[in-house]
A and B are shown apart, each in its own frame.
Chain A
């Protein structure tokens, strides 16, 4: 052994300068790492994914720390990306390791939390607490559905996200069209048809009535929900291949179909998409409340030219809104400070100040119904031609459709996207496909989609759902 050490020392003598530098760097970095204090913080940890949320909560949290009677721990507010929250949170849940004490979770992320057996759900069941403290009745009822499984709720809803139709009122008014008369989608397209003329002779209509396409997952889901379509029943079983879904999907796809579609595909978040909005390529957009702030930030060129109105319904008297996106605040089971976490969560999510800030900063309305009387919602919005759009969104909030919390919802929406794309391709390849043939084809495609989801769900023995 001694000789081996001697050999090792002898070998070191022959190291080049570069190798020596690497050895020295290795030793220094090793010592720095060893000497750094890696003890976990004693403070309450809260993860959020939105910079706006962070900016709103920070002063509130400071106040909480000053005024709280408990005041046992300070609160560390951390801003992480949605992907980082998802991976850190799921790693913690899977390994039974501490994560944060409060985590804001976006709707697209929540499915994975409910994928396993109910006892493996990493968040505390808040149902009883919500009832005990009378919060359950204060919250806009449909806003609880994405965060509830089997009648149990695992997070406080942050928002409602009702959807209205935002449209270029400057263009419609110049054309003498009163779009508020469009109570149904049929009337909407009929009213705007004159604006589809190709006056600039570039081979395309000057304006398309609506920005939407079969490949836009969120908008397809939103429209299906508006029309009463359902991808899962209340027990979490897939219900993709219903007659109602087929009729709805056929109608939505028909907007994109043929040589002269009445909708166009404008990217919702890219610079090119924003330019299209300024150019007026589409007259109307499906607009959840949060989208307003995105436009204000990225498309100032349409300020003062837009108006909002309830969505046209699929049938006369039908639902005039839908829902898109959402966030909840959950308390992981691994927290050592449930009571303080709960107190903080309730304070943040029911605070009138935060609700006011939420609307002022990012146009999002609170799900707490008692806060809807706040004057902030009645303020005229110059971006939307001084409409009191807060009140308009609030009026629609109780009517938003119920959403499933099924972990397979995203996969089901992907299946619907595939069915829509295939239906569109099929229709465009036909010489003369009538409505009945289109419905039959839709049913066939939805049957395939249903089988695919059933196959995926049947592999999961943990959820207790027999598809």
Chain B
């Protein structure tokens, strides 16, 4: 009796349950979103001092070579993530999924451990490892090749983007590996056995059974990795001491946004940068969704 009455009033309860979320969403998501759209057409010095400039911020942004450098760097890093980091994570997951490998749990922990340390700590360690002369990387290279001139490689001044990608490999390969590992553990054993009985070798089993089975997870990991890469900030910020490095070789879009908004105090220009980034992310997400739907339709 009581339950029936309650069910009749479910709408009231639903709204009561949703209200905290809606309030938080309005205050911390929707309002800032609207505010940033408003800011993007103003020049500001902090939130109080502003001057309406219309679409000038976007026009200047398009003409701004530093912004294009930031876009180029961010895309380069994203490509590095997609084409180096994810395949490596997948291969690692395949290896660590093998039942023949002893001590798999230990390896999994080792590869995942950079995530436990946190991005800032890993960045600081990365900076030390790639230090000129005294860094672990240069010392190892010089020792292995018996060539002391390799001690002089200035990774963080000369090879900024490769260094960023290398450090992010250390940080994220283990993290993405966990997703792939979970997907691999869900691959239907009977399908693999059937393929084996049909005479499929390891490569064909991987190609025709394993990869199609992990595709939904892979799609999710690709999207996650792309969004994360486009939002890259902390790693170069810490490694390069808050600026983009020589010739802005390590400047990313979010770093440029931060510099304008919080170093120069121009929240308007920073908002314009933010909107361009948001449009890029929405565009990528739409492409991704479309590709997934197309694939599902083909199946």
Contact = CB atoms under 8 A, between A and B. Distances in A.
Contact of A272 (B6, B8, B133, B246): B133
Given A267-B132, A459-B43, 17 more contacts: A3-B9, A8-B13, A8-B16, A87-B262, A94-B265, A96-B48, A112-B264, A112-B265, A115-B264, A117-B45, A117-B49, A120-B48, A202-B148, A215-B154, A418-B248, A452-B65, A459-B60
A242 interface: no
Nearest to A120: B49
B12 A414 contact: no
A275 B131 CA distance: 14
Interface string A272-292: 100110000000000000000
A393 B213 CA distance: 73
Contacts of B8: 3
A203 B264 contact: no
A461 B263 CA distance: 16
Interface string A412-441: 001001100110000000000000000000
B225 interface: no
Contacts of A452: 65-66
Nearest to A203: B148
A123 B60 CA distance: 31
Contact of B269 (A94, A275, A459): A459
Nearest to A108: B242
Contacts of A455: 64
Nearest to A2: B9
Contact of A3 (B6, B46, B48, B246): B6
A460 B266 contact: yes
Contacts of B115: none
Contacts of B286: none
A272 B134 CA distance: 6
B6 A421 contact: no
Closest 10 CB pairs of A and B: A94-B46, A116-B45, A272-B134, A3-B9, A4-B12, A421-B246, A7-B6, A4-B13, A7-B13, A418-B247
Interface string A111-133: 01001110010000000000000
A267 B156 CA distance: 13
B157 interface: yes
A270 B131 contact: yes
Interface of B: 2, 5-6, 8-9, 12-13, 16, 43, 45-49, 51, 53, 60, 64-66, 131-134, 148-149, 154, 157, 243, 246-248, 262-266, 269
A117 B133 CA distance: 46
B12 to A, nearest CB: 4
A1 interface: yes
A93 interface: yes
14 contacts: A3-B5, A3-B6, A3-B8, A96-B48, A112-B263, A117-B49, A120-B49, A267-B132, A272-B134, A421-B247, A422-B247, A455-B64, A461-B53, A462-B45
A417 B134 CA distance: 23
A115 B12 contact: no
A90 interface: yes
Contacts of A17: none
Contacts of A462: 43, 45, 49, 51
Q: Label chain A's interface by main secondary structure.
A: helix
A95 interface: yes
Interface residues of A, number: 41
Contacts of A112: 263-265
A204 B148 contact: yes
A120 B16 CA distance: 44
A117 B64 CA distance: 23
Interface of A: 1, 3-4, 6-8, 10, 87, 90, 93-96, 112, 115-117, 120, 202-204, 215, 265, 267, 270-272, 275-276, 407, 414, 417-418, 421-422, 452, 455, 459-462
Given A461-B43, A461-B51, A1 B12 contact: yes
Contacts of A8: 13, 16
A120 to B, nearest CB: 5
A363 B11 CA distance: 72
A80 B66 CA distance: 33
A189 to B, nearest CB: 20
Contacts of A93: 46
Contact of B157 (A95, A215, A422): A215
Nearest to B244: A414
A407 B149 CA distance: 40
B154 A3 contact: no
Contacts of A271: 134
Contact of B16 (A4, A272, A414, A459): A4
Contacts of B133: 272, 276
A95 B6 contact: no
A93 B5 CA distance: 56
B6 A10 contact: yes
Given A203-B149, A270-B131, A95 B269 contact: no
A270 B269 CA distance: 36
Given A94-B265, A204-B148, A459-B43, A267 B247 contact: no
A7 B9 contact: yes
Contact of A417 (B47, B53, B246): B246
A10 B46 CA distance: 49
A267 B135 CA distance: 12
Given A94-B47, A459-B266, A215 B246 contact: yes
Contacts of A459: 43, 60, 266, 269
Contacts of B269: 459
B39 to A, nearest CB: 13
A372 B132 CA distance: 41
Contacts of B246: 215, 417-418, 421
Contacts of A204: 148
Contact of B46 (A116, A215, A276): A116
A460 B53 CA distance: 11
A3 B157 CA distance: 66
A1 B16 CA distance: 10
A204 B64 CA distance: 42
A421 B5 CA distance: 76
B59 to A, nearest CB: 11
Contacts of B2: 6
A390 B265 CA distance: 39
Contacts of B132: 265, 267
Contacts of A117: 45, 49
Contacts of B247: 418, 421-422
Contacts of A215: 154, 157, 246
Contacts of B157: 215, 421
